[in-house]
Amino acid sequence: MTDGHAPAASEISASEVRAELEAVLQSKPFSSSARLSRFLRYVTEETLAGRAASLKEYKLGLEVFGRGEDFDPRVDAVVRVEARQVRFKLADYYAGPGIHDPIIISLPKGGYAPRIERRAPQALDAPAQISLPPTVPEPPRSGVSWLTWSAVAVAFLLLAAAIAIWVWKSGPAGQPPAASIAVLPFTNLSSDPGNQYFSDGLTDEITGELSRVKNLRVIARASAFQFRGKVADIREVGRQLGVATILEGSVERSGDRVKIVAHLERTSDGSHLWARTYERQTADLYAVQSEVAAAIARNFPGAEGPPPSSRRPTQDEQAHDWYMRARYELEQGTPSAVQQAAADFQKAIDRDPMYAKAYAGLGSALYNLGAAHFNSKFTDRSGSERMWRKALALDPALEEAHCGLALLAMQYDWDWRRAEEEARAALAAGPSARAELRYASILIFHGRFKEGGEHLLRSQDIDPLGISYMLTRGQMWILARRPDKARVEIQNVLDRHPDIVQAQSTMSFLDLQDGRPDLAQARMKKLEQREPSVRVLEAAMLAYEGRRDEALRMIRADEQKWETGNVPMASFALVYANMGDVKNTVKWLERSADRHEWQALSIAVNSAFQKMQNDPGFIALKKRIHLLS
């Protein structure tokens, strides 16, 4: 059977097709995604019923993805996005577990009716030869990959932070691994709402303790905190995070006493596995955290409890309290909050000058002042380096400090060898989505896309739903020539936070790449009403479409105040690159490098600059940043 028509009984029977469908849906590529499985099952069954011609985008939006009658495929790309993922998942399946299957199900581009065909007998020992997208798509037309820099803030998200399609290490029948857990934010039951920092800090530190348990997969904070304050079915939480268990609890603080209630639940049925109440002095908080982690570990056969720590991070209770306050402020991300975080980290250090984690936190706060202001001019580069080095002098295994020094080495010193060494040291400290993402960026900036992609996937496995991580992974996937994966990441952000400017602008450029300029421009016009700074990005889109004069008029005002404005120099470079103006592109990229903007690090692999790679000025710039091979 081909082209979506139901097979004749003499060719492939419906029972054979359904048997193959079940084999596909029970495989790793599909068992971890109910959404994709539902899509593939629906289109296959409709095709078998002779209704292949009715498989239109609008119908699929309503029947498969639960959209309402006002669903507009021109605005909501959910069907196209999921169809693309089904194609790649099928490719994964037939290149792996289904390599010898006698029947092949594929989803040809340009439609939603599956192609079902019998594998030629002589080809049973060879990889499936079916019409599927290439592993690495052809590079898009020059100019589109400037979506790497699709929003001013995206440039800093990787620095500040550290699909709904991710690779699960699946257990039997496609379930998440039995030894897997997410710690949801503990509820603050204290009479003082200001104690929220304390309950968040406790959640973070229990998560950290559990991450030291061998053979236990622990979901990162950023993903788990997506469920703060939400009433969600435990099974749905488990499905989205890809875990078999959830740890929840509450914290009630009164004076120097604290009451902690913790309970472990199985996500498959919501049953309780373990529960305990602790009533202690706040000075005993470290001991409680260790007890909880050890008790949890005993629920997972094969998991080994956290190794005994040689000493507490600090013996000073007040220093620890200042540290938790600072962590809470740093997570808020606003300029005033990050400034306050720096002050509170310093107070922790004043109380305990040997507090390594407080130095690491202060380094992050000083660095992230740039992220908070959306302008790298505010970054305290020297101060952050001093703090991170001091932290490592006290504790050589601190992942946060190694990640920070890796960042400085590549962004400010352009010392790629040292950056890679620091990133490796961060990875050696234990599972970390931040470290995986940092190392992935180093590899991708040097065109090592396959290796970089592997680390991006590991980042997804640890932190599948963290907003900043998804945004950054989307940008990295674009550089790595995988816009399909980029779209999935960005769509996941928009599904949860539809108003995030960075995600909306990136999706606009992905729409442009997919040949839908009207949709892209409409989205950008709406964004400009909320965030005027995106007009430079809109100008880059106009330049890409050949509307040079309009683009120049749009950027004129921002260009004239470039020294005092907040628009990245690299954004101006993208406008001129899309016009084919090499001289002005290089001029703005040189200014970007002068400011050590993150965007300048990708010039060797960004296809916006593909046609000028041999220009003497461009070569000199790559040499300056040490990006020449």
In the chain, what percentage of residues exceed pLDDT 70?
Answer: 87
Q: Which residue has the higher pLDDT, 179 or 531?
A: 179
Q: What number is the average pLDDT over the span 287-310?
A: 76
Please give the Cα distance from 144 to 157 (Å, whole number). Answer: 21
Query: Count of CB atoms within 10 A of residue 242's CB?
Result: 27
Dihedral sign from CA coordinates of 484, 490, 493, 497? negative
Q: How confident is residue 134, by pLDDT bands cut at 50, 70 and 90? A: very low
Q: What is the structure's pLDDT at 7?
A: 39
Average pLDDT value for residue range 365-372: 91
Query: For position 311, what pLDDT does the model report?
Result: 63
Range list of H helices, 531-628: 535-544, 548-560, 569-579, 582-594, 616-624
What pLDDT does 352 receive?
96
Identify whether the C-beta of residue 402 lies closer than 8 Å to the C-beta of residue 426.
yes
Q: With the C-alpha atoms ordered 69, 71, 72, 73, is the resulting torsion angle positive or negative?
A: negative
476: Cα separation from own chain's centroid: 9
- The predicted model gives 49-64 an average pLDDT of 90
Dihedral sign for Cα atoms in the order 367, 372, 376, 380: negative
Q: How far apart are CA 414 and CA 6, in angstroms?
A: 58
Choice among 431-440, 463-472, 595-604 with the minimum mean pLDDT: 463-472
- In whole angstroms, what is the distance from residue 425 CA to residue 423 CA? 5
Cα–Cα separations (whole angstroms), residue 282 to 289, 321, 325, 351, 580: 11, 10, 15, 17, 63
Kind of pairing, strands 245-254 and 187-188?
parallel
Q: What distance in Å separates the CA atoms of residue 629 and residue 626, rounded to the nearest whole number?
A: 8
Mention every residue, 6+ apart, whose C-beta is less than 8 A from residue 610: 139, 142
pLDDT tens sequence across 437-490: 999 999 999 999 989 989 999 998 999 988 888 888 998 998 888 889 999 999
Nearest to 258 by CA among 284, 289, 294: 284
Q: Look at residue 425 and tell me whether its pLDDT is greater than 60.
A: yes
Instruction: Look at residue 628 in the predicted model and tell me its pLDDT.
Output: 80
pLDDT at 10 over 80: no
Q: Which residues contact 141 (CB under 8 A, 6 or more apart)?
A: none
- Give the closest residue to 408 by CA, choosing from 434, 383, 373: 383
Between CA 363 and CA 21 the distance in angstroms is 52
Q: What is the pLDDT of residues 535-588, one digit of tens each?
A: 898 899 899 889 999 999 999 999 999 988 888 899 999 999 999 999 999 999
Terminal CA-CA length for the chain = 49
Q: What per-residue confidence (pLDDT) applies to 420? A: 96
Determine contact, residues 96/88, Cβ cutoff 8 Å.
no
Query: Residues 586, 155: contact at Cβ < 8 Å?
Result: no
- For residue 183, give the H/E element and its range: strand 180-183
pTM of the model: 0.69
Q: Which of 122, 82, 84, 85 is nearest to 102 (CA)?
A: 122
Structure confidence by residue, pLDDT tens digits, 185-202: 998 888 888 889 998 999
Q: Are 621 and 614 spatial neighbours (Cβ–Cβ below 8 Å)?
A: no
Contacts of 229 (CB under 8 A, 6+ apart): none
Residue 15 has pLDDT above 70, yes or no: yes
Residue matched to tokens 């052809």: 138
Contact of 538 with 559, CB cutoff 8 Å: no
Three-state DSSP class for 589? helix
